[in-house]
Structure 1
Amino acid sequence: MSKSSMIHRYKWYELIGIYAGILLFLTFVLAPFVEGFLVSLKPLSQLFSSPYRFIPENGSFAAYRTMWTSVPGFGWYIFNSFLISGVSTIIVLILVVPAAYAFARFEFRGAGLLLGAFLAVNMFSGAVLLIPLFRLMRSFGLLNTYFAMIVPGVAFLIPSGIWLLRTYMIRIPKELDEAAFVDGASHFYTLRRVILPIAMPGITVVAITTFIGSYAQQFIYALTFNSKTEYMPLPVGLFAYFGRQEVVWNELMAASFVGIAPALVVIFFLQRYLVSGLTAGAVKQ
């Protein structure tokens, strides 16, 4: 069914309601980003003026230049966040892909209980486990290293990754596995050569959510497990714009947009796999 025929199924007032709902949703989603960008263009004198001006008067990109000198080494903070998130994503995918395949294809005692335990992990806040995690990091000598933030992040991101990818792999026909076994393929070969190409959209979703989750949860781990500036991630660098006397809001907003740029670039290049037809022609005729 074509898109035009689907649209013609609705009456004119139903279309107005649909597009109005979409516009309202996008307004609530995009409004904070638009306001944050406009704040980054305003001088500090306009931020608290009365009446408040939504559109900046004599706006400029000066904050995008001064932010680099206000917090020395800000570029290093961005690099640390990108490195920690990238390594965490790779480790999560290496562990999640075979685990999700095992839960999707094999039936073994305690599988449901184990999946429930994985899900229960996400019910605990990272702040609740800071003290035992700190003692664990100290026991393994991981304090003041990148792994002090990578290991806890990976531990909390693996359960959700398994659930997401397992749901996707369940929908892949088991006939593909059976056909591979008839040809003499092992489970590992079937996973690597048959399942992985078909499950790539699901793996991409897990990769994106893992990268974003790791990028967002670094602040509390960095302050608890690190005391060296060279290992600090982006959230700690943004916190430096909160001074004792005032908050440099325009530079803070500018730094926030610059800091999330690497994550947006990664998502932009990965999103095309979400809509690609990798399952086309997978089932033998």
Structure 2
Amino acid sequence: MSERPMIDRYTWYETLGVYLGLLVFLSFVLAPFVEGFLVSLKPLEHLFSSPYRFWPEDGSFDAYFTMWEHVPLLGRYIVNSLFISTVITIVVVIIVVPAAYAFARFEFRGSGPLLGMFLAVNMFSGAVLLIPLYRLMRTLGLLNTYFAMIVPGVAFLIPTGIWLLRTYMLRIPRELEEAAWADGAGRLYTLRRVVLPIALPGIVVVAIATFIGAYAQQFIFALTFNSKSEYMPLAVGLFSFFGKERVVWNELMAASFAGILPVMIVFVFLQRYLVAGITAGAVKQ
């Protein structure tokens, strides 16, 4: 069997086709981000000039400095988004790890329908449940607090985390746990010392997916359950750039990139765990 990389087995025109296809795909994916970044560099009065110029000749990073003056609470909005996403991620991981292990290792009546119910939760849009959730938050006294955004976020992201991590744990050989039991280890000790170290890449994948999901879905919950600026996340805080007479597009784009920068940094530092978690178990033993 040849040990040459798969890409080296293609002819030159097949390789060219692969790279051209990837280039076209990345162009469609990255085009909105490139355009948004260029808008943040353009002066506001030149954004709608004719003829349209893709590359700003008089571009600058002024919007990245003036946006803090236009919206003084912008830093607070970013911190709120990070705080809410971090708390949601921690709570989801704490709940998902034992739940996924139970569904992966224990056979009990109703486990299949229960998993199906978890998956069905993701079929409902948050907008469909806004009225009952609002009544629940008002009854519990959670309106205008961080919990009004944390509790729904946890509830909507737990099912996805269980499905992802359960699939990963099913690939962990049972023989490793049986060997630990033969040496006198208990179930919790085996989970903590045997299963969790092996499942760490999968847990990181769940944590990253949860963090990104929590960061992205804050808008509808915050807009409905919160009316205080000190608790607003970035998604709602960006509306401050929409004025009655005009929209400060360059500062809006600059604030958007400043808001997603922490997520990008987290992704860059954890990408090796993400790749390991996605590819682990893909090869049949």
Q: TM-score, structure 1 length as denominator? A: 0.94
Aligned position for 1:27: 27
Aligned position for 1:166: 166
| CA displacement at 1:240 relative to structure 2 | 1.2
What SS does structure 2 have at the residue aligned with 1:142?
Answer: coil
Q: Residue 96 and residue 52 in structure 1: after superposition, are their counterparts in 2 closer, same or farther (change >3 A)?
A: same
Aligned position for 2:148: 148
Q: Residues 200-219 of structure 1 correspond to what in structure 2 (within 5 A)?
A: 200-219=200-219
How far, CA to CA, are the matches of 2:26 and 2:244 in structure 1?
36
How far, CA to CA, are the matches of 1:94 and 1:2 in structure 2?
45
| CA displacement at 1:4 relative to structure 2 | 4.7
The answer to whether structure 1 residue 255 and structure 2 residue 255 are counterparts is yes
Q: Residues 116-135 of structure 1 correspond to what in structure 2 (within 5 A)?
A: 116-135=116-135
Counterpart code for 2:173: P
Q: Residue 206 and residue 5 in structure 1: after superposition, are their counterparts in 2 closer, same or farther (change >3 A)?
A: closer
Deviation track 1:1-52 (CA, whole Å, cap 9, x = no partner) reads 8985422211111111111111111111111111110000000121101110
How far, CA to CA, are the matches of 1:215 and 1:67 in structure 2?
21
Deviation track 1:95-127 (CA, whole Å, cap 9, x = no partner) reads 000000000111111000000000000000001
Unpaired segments of 5 or more residues in structure 2?
281-285
Aligned position for 1:283: none
Counterpart code for 1:207: A
The answer to whether structure 1 residue 183 and structure 2 residue 213 are counterparts is no
Counterpart code for 1:37: F
How far, CA to CA, are the matches of 1:72 and 1:8 in structure 2?
54
What SS does structure 1 have at the residue aligned with 2:128?
Answer: coil
What SS does structure 2 have at the residue aligned with 1:247?
Answer: coil
What SS does structure 2 have at the residue aligned with 1:8?
Answer: helix
Aligned position for 2:227: 227
How far, CA to CA, are the matches of 2:253 and 2:186 in structure 1?
53
Deviation track 1:231-265 (CA, whole Å, cap 9, x = no partner) reads 00001111111112111110000000001111111
Identity of aligned residues (%): 76
Unpaired segments of 5 or more residues in structure 1?
281-285
Whether the 8 Å contact between 2:205 and 2:273 is mirrored in structure 1 is no
Aligned position for 2:193: 193
Aligned position for 2:283: none
Counterpart code for 1:190: T
Aligned position for 2:237: 237
Q: Residue 186 and residue 252 in structure 1: after superposition, are their counterparts in 2 closer, same or farther (change >3 A)?
A: same
Counterpart code for 2:76: W
How far, CA to CA, are the matches of 1:267 and 1:93 in structure 2?
17
